[in-house]
Amino acid sequence: MATAIGKPTTTSKSNNNKLETLVKCPICLDYYEDPRLLQCSHTFCFKCILQLVEKNGGYYATCPLRDNTILRRHTIDQLPINRAVQDMVDHLKKEEQQQEEVSTYSSKFKQLATKCDECNGVIAEFYCDTCKKHFCTACLKQKHSLAEFETHKIIVHINEKLSPLCKEHAEEKLKYWCTGCKLLVCSDCLLFQHKHHSFIPMQEIVQQTKIKFGSSLDQLDQMKQNLTDLSTKTTEAQNTHYRAHVVTRKEIEQTIAALQNMLETRKEQLINQLTTRDAEQQEIIRRQRNDIDEQLKTVSVRELLIKQILSTGNSIQILNTKDDLLTYNELHNEQYEQLMEGCVYDISGFVHIKTRSDIKQKILQAGNISSQAFLADSHGIRGLITLSLPTINISDQHSLQIENYAHGYRFLLANGQKTFKLKSLRINGSISNELHVYILDYNDVLVYKQTARVINDVWTTLKWSCVSLTTSIELQNNYYLFVWSNSPRESSKSKGRPSYLSYKNGNHNLRAVNDHISVRSKRSLMTTISDSDLQIGTKFNVVYDAFLTNEKNNEWIPSIDMILELDE
């Protein structure tokens, strides 16, 4: 027997309208179909994402909401389904279908005030779709009590004040909630099918459900407020990050531009100096060439003169020119000897072999990109303490399997800094297992331990696995902070994969984190120890540095990516 569906209230319509704006794809502007969640948290239909990529050559595309997220064709199938959006779409479609059925039924029969077709004196409460007649309760029992009428389709009139009728007993209203079967039943059902079951009146379970719904609404309202605050702070963090990016980029451009101006100025100076020297040396060579040319002319003239005198055979003329020619020849020989000594000139060169190498080294050291971790949550944006090496090339970062050793840091506090309170820590890596946190005192004795279950398989962009400490811990001078993951368990979540931590090539050397805290990379052998054996007071096998033992100075200790949140 079909039951009526109440008309939607104005409030529910308003809520559905607001809900519709959240469940329509920004690309096709229709309800989401197979909604997929991008890494930037935007959601689109799977087919819309495919079409978007196909329009861009079939290889990749960017998020239509212009947040620079890259969508690659070979990774689209791996995008997770947005279950929350899918559930909302299903809910809206179901409500629309129900409202359409109610609208169709109401427009067809308009029977809220229709009287019974039998007695014509009482408002009809039922309609028999087989007989095509309206009935009140009494007439329905009288006319449809025979067995041949059991197959008739009885529809309850749209009347919010009436209770729905039992499907098994058409004349009985549903008044009770069977707690065992979790369904509404009538009085006859309680006497037969559910006679040994516990039950409560329908109004009581309705009231209890309303209370639970109210509590759920309060919880959802609080979640919505928290998510709204988080969204606001995340947007603020995005804007802050972008502003920092713009300022840093401008500083880089200004610094390099200043260096380029200095290089251009030096270039101009060197070229001017080279040009001046070149002019001087060219003048020396030019004069030498002129003197040589003049000497050649003189030699040629004297040669012709002597040949002419000798050809005449005049003895008197030969004797008269003898002294002049011989004297001139001696003078000419002196000039000739001077010219034959050659021309001394300079060739300018640029001394660049070692100088250029030094300049290259200085340019490579002309600034670095440093970074500091920040946390953006609903409470605001605040800086975190980064313990790993401050500057390093991305290519130098590795993955470290952490089954054999616990890795971490030893803290050395500056003068006047007695303690600091640790609230939480975050580890960069792929962790699909239990992560153990250990805090040791200056005697290598365990003073605090905590185990956190970390599953970092889906949200690959959020590589920082957070461990919030159950209590705020005060770390003193020479205290240790270690993390360790034992052998992976076979489970559907971890899939038997071991845990890895991101690390940078480091050593035992002391390095400053800020004005108050310095750290040394440390590790402790864990192969023969299980976490259950590690009780408070257990002494760890810490690997010491060369300053305290006879270990080599160059022993390598990984600097793992770890950031801390302090409890101010």
Reported as a single tens digit per residue, the pLDDT across 394-432 is 555 677 776 678 889 999 998 777 888 998 898 887 776
- Residue 343: the pLDDT is 82
Supply the pLDDT for residue 7.
42
Q: What is the pTM of this model?
A: 0.53
Q: What is the pLDDT of residue 264?
A: 92
Are residues 546 and 555 in contact, defined by beta-carbon separation less than 8 angstroms? Answer: yes
> What is the spatial distance between Cα 429 and Cα 484, in angstroms, rounded to a whole number?
12
Q: How much is the average pLDDT of 450-477?
A: 74
Model confidence at 336: pLDDT above 70: yes
Q: What pLDDT is recorded for position 14?
A: 55
Residue 53 pLDDT more than 70?
yes
Mean pLDDT, the chain, whole residue set: 78
Query: Cα(289)–Cα(334) distance, rounded to whole angstroms?
Result: 17
Q: Are 409 and 387 in contact (CB under 8 A)?
A: yes
DSSP 333-386: HHHHHHHHT-----------HHHHHHHHHHHHTS-------EEEETTEEEE-EE
Amino acid identity at 109: F
pLDDT band of residue 499 (cuts 50, 70, 90) is low
> What CATH number should be reported for the domain whose range is 384-566?
2.60.120
The closest of 428, 403, 406, 408 to 488, measured between CA atoms, is 403
pLDDT given at position 3: 36
* Of 492, 433, 503, nearest in space to 465 by CA: 433
Least confident segment among 191-195, 211-215, 361-365, 561-565: 361-365
Give the pLDDT band of residue 5 (cuts 50, 70, 90). Answer: very low
CATH of 1-109, one of 3.40.50.970, 3.20.20.80, 3.30.40.10, 3.40.50.800: 3.30.40.10
Q: In the structure, what pLDDT confidence band is assigned to residue 487 with cuts at 50, 70 and 90? A: low
Residue 110 has pLDDT above 50, yes or no: no
User: How many angstroms separate the CA atoms of 459 and 40, rounded?
Assistant: 11
384-566 shares the fold of 1-109? no
Q: Structure tokens of 474? A: 């005060």
Most confidently modeled of 79-83, 113-117, 361-365, 373-377? 79-83
The pLDDT > 70 percentage for the chain reads 81
Report the alpha-carbon distance of residue 63 to residue 49 in Å, rounded.
9
DSSP 76: G
- At position 339, the amino acid (one-letter code) is L
pLDDT band at residue 282 under the 50/70/90 scheme? very high
Report domain extents, the chain: 1-109, 244-364, 384-566
Distance (Å, whole) CA 481 – CA 321: 112
Q: pLDDT for 434-447, tens place per residue?
A: 788 999 998 999 99
Tokens 């050397």 correspond to what residue? 509
The Cα–Cα gap between 444 and 537 comes to: 9
Contacts of 24 (CB under 8 A, 6+ apart): 30, 31, 32
pLDDT at 186 over 80: yes
Residue 490: its pLDDT value, please?
A: 43
For residues 312-329, give the mean pLDDT.
Answer: 74
Q: CB of 566 within 8 A of CB of 422?
A: yes
Torsion, Cα of 486, 490, 493, 495 (10° steps)? 100
Q: Give the per-residue pLDDT at 275.
A: 93
- DSSP for 25-74? -TTT-SB-SSEEE-TTS-EEEHHHHHHHHHHTTSSEEE-TTSS--EEEGG
Q: Parallel, antiparallel, or unpaired: how do β-strands 511-512 and 446-455 relate?
A: unpaired
pLDDT of residue 447: 92
Instruction: Please check the confidence at residue 393 and state whether its pLDDT lies above 60.
Output: no
CA dist 386 and 384 (Å) reads 6
Q: Which residue has the higher pLDDT, 172 or 104?
A: 172
CB atoms within 10 A of CB 110: 10
Read off the pLDDT of residues 520-550 as tens digits, 9 standing for 90 and up: 998 888 765 666 667 888 888 887 654 444 4
- Tell me the chain's radius of gyration from C-alpha atoms: 47
Distance CA 432, CA 427 (A): 12
Asked which of 83-92, 294-303, 394-403 is least confident by mean pLDDT, the reply is: 394-403
Per-residue model confidence as pLDDT tens digits over 353-370 = 666 777 777 777 777 777
The 3-class SS string of 390-424 reads CCCCHHHEEEEECCCEEEEEEEEECCCCCEEEEEE
H-helix segments, 73-201: 83-109, 137-143, 187-191
Tokens 């990050």 sit at which residue?
241
Q: What is the pLDDT of residue 305?
A: 79
Q: What is the pLDDT of residue 314?
A: 77
Q: Which pLDDT does position 105 carry in this prediction?
A: 47
When pLDDT is cut at 50, 70 and 90, the band that residue 98 belongs to is low
